[in-house]
Structure 1
Amino acid sequence: MSESNTTIFTNPSTFILQGIPGLEAAHIWISIPFSAIYAIALLGNFAILFIVKTEPSLHEPMYYFLCMLAVTDLVLSTSTLPKMLSIFWFNSRQINFRACLTQMYFIDSFKVMESGIFVAMAYDLYVAICDPLRHSTILTNSFVVKTGLAMMLRGSVLVMPYPILASLRPYCRTNIISHVYCEHMAVVKLACADITISNYYGLSVLFSVHGLDVILIAMSYTQILKAIFRLPTKDARLKTFGTCSSHLCAILTFYIPMIFTSLMHRFGHNVALSFHILFANMYLLVPPMLNPIIYGVRSKQIQGRLFRLLIPKRT
């Protein structure tokens, strides 16, 4: 074994992102759907932000939370895809050590923020359906701002140990990351030291934060469904449930792949690495693309404003 492969370097100057092992010849072809997904995500989320900003009738808590979701989706997709495309197109695999840790931090902190936003949106639906007369007094602008700041602070603080622990460990034998971005466990597995703390802390965040969020969302929907079933007519029940469908779809596209990919990275030793990486990439890119489509299709107010922008009235 060469000396360069056994040298310990506490903070390597660069990591090498391998891309998708076994599929290097197909990188250009893989980049085509990824680029299309990213373009749709950018267009859709910026459209949501613009429409809500310019349409006074949409200045409501639900749409403010939707804007927060759009921002987190933009950060999540932009944190990964530009570097990913540079690997696919230009074989630019190097990433600075600090840039790698920064990318790791942004990805994981904004995943926590997005999870919290889904909880806030579930609470908004709960109040709107179960206690509509008090909705305007509970979901005030001040409450929305404080909730957004709390979600940002929670994500920023809880994920901070990820890059700190990773930066304190020595690395040896290789600085090649078998991934297209600096995924937390993919980085710390390169360390020569014991990574038990990082592993258990990551699992604790997964279960205590995301798990708690799922429980809170489930509790909200339990009360929402009880209220829906108490409605007198089938049409009223369907109409009320329809207001929740977009939120439910967005939740499923976020939580199911996130839990699956987190557990697969720790316990799925028999899963093909190329499949894991492709799934992890789609998990970060597909929800940001789908969320504006889901909410745009279900919200007649957003549809109306979009149609007015695309097809202005003739004078």
Structure 2
Amino acid sequence: MVDRLRGGLMRVTVLGASGMLGHIVARFLTEAGHSVQTPEPRFDPDSPARFIESLRITHPEAVINCIGIRAGSPPQALIDAHVRLVELSLECLQGSCARFIQASTDGIFRSDLPARQTAEPGDATDDYGQSKWEAELRVRSAGGLVIRCSILGPELRAAAPRSLMGWFLTQRGPVRGFVNHAWNGITTLQWAQICRGLLEARSPEPVCQPGIWPPSNKAEVLRLIGDTWDWPIEIHPEAAPQPVLRTLVPDVICPSLKSQLEELRKWYTPRFPSTPPTAN
């Protein structure tokens, strides 16, 4: 067992510290006074030894796994990134007192049912959702914690964004906003704040399911991003061919998305194009 840092702060290893969630978590916990480490080697499923060794030598008191790849990736890549990485990381930490916190997603559930409860088992039929559910099960069986929600936040790689917010803040003309795609997630900064709370006060529950309530929709989410981040492009509300009704019933109800985005904007140093588009 490693020695606790002075003042109750912890040695924390953040996996995926260059990603949309990980770079926010690493910075926020560092500013909160925790000793944050970020392993350098990327996880290579064909040769994982360097990555696992880099995790072992950090001697963490807590590991926060922010690594994830997007839906639609090849099935084996999803298994490697979401399941195998978790299994190997947990094996590496056996015998230590390190806590493992896993970033999960509402995507473990099918898209046509709303109001999913914390205790419900995952029932996604796609490879992405199934791989994230399998990762959850591995973490929970090892005594780790899961934060399950959809997230929204800026990216470091602004030139090639992969997320909704990152994509929106690179657009210069009108975009579509789907009114029949429900959403009740949180910002990446809110996620980091919840994670800090779980680190500093042990939770008796294996799953934390935060979110806003009542749910919103993707058109409204884009409008709020545009208003908060001074990105005045036109949004055309419309119905998508395939609705997404999936929402989570929060066991932690968070501030409004408007409040969260305002807090994120104030805290974050933007890395987006310096000149916002001109409103039509």
TM-score, with length taken from structure 2? 0.25
| Higher helix content, 1 or 2 | 1
Larger radius of gyration: 1
Greater relative contact order structure (CA < 8 Å, 6+ sep)? 1
TM-score, with length taken from structure 1? 0.23
